[in-house]
Amino acid sequence: MIARPLTAPVTATATPVVYVVDDDISVRESLEPLIRFADWQPQLFACAQTFLAHPREVVPSCLVLDINLPGLNGLDLQANLTGAQPTMPIIFITGYGDIPGTVRAMKAGALEFLTKPFDADILLAAISAALEKSRSALEREDHLHDLRMRHASLTPREREIMNRVVAGCMNKVIAADLDISEITVKAHRGKVTRKMKARSVAELVRMASQLTGPTADEQ
């Protein structure tokens, strides 16, 4: 997989970027003003390799991608980005109907597949939906990053206490398990609650679930 260069993270409220990768200059020239008029930032590329080498900001974004490209084609680029760029939905465009390619693209997570010539309003609607999906994904990532930072601020003992609290253990059980007093357990629980900014045990349980991610049975 080719590494993707990134600039420093910014907020999910920054100006959205619409990347266009198409070797047809007439397509790029027609899409640039259309995207700019919608108050999005267009960034245009003639091939996949140039796109991959370009630094990309962590902002709401989507990729309008031609399936038929010289060198690395659109499907190969999609495979390259899968997992590495989960917050950037892909809208495929192609000059002719390609049913096998469409099926492969959609199975791999493409948001939309449009055949040229496509209606501008349909493309704009697809881009708008893709950017909203990207924004939501970035907000989830920001929340998880903040949650991880809070968890990292806990001392080893506080993490032990938190693990037992979210497992449903009572203070006296935790105290006996760790060979400390119940008063000490209560003090640590209070610090855990403040540092994690949890308003209840239920919220602390949700935070712990988010930190550990889905279980093997849920994946």
Name the CATH code of domain 17-142 (choices 3.40.50.2300, 2.40.420.20, 2.40.440.10, 3.40.366.10). Answer: 3.40.50.2300
Question: Quick one: fold of 153-212?
Answer: Arc Repressor Mutant, subunit A (1.10.10)
Domain boundaries, the chain: 17-142, 153-212
pLDDT in tens, 117-140: 888 999 999 999 999 999 998 888
Can you tell me the mean pLDDT for 23-38? 93
The tens digit of pLDDT for each residue in 62-72 reads 999 998 888 88
Full-model pTM: 0.72
Q: Which DSSP string corresponds to 35-101?
A: HHHTT-EEEEESSHHHHHHS-B-SSSEEEEEES--SSS-HHHHHHHHTTT-TTS-EEEEESS--HHH
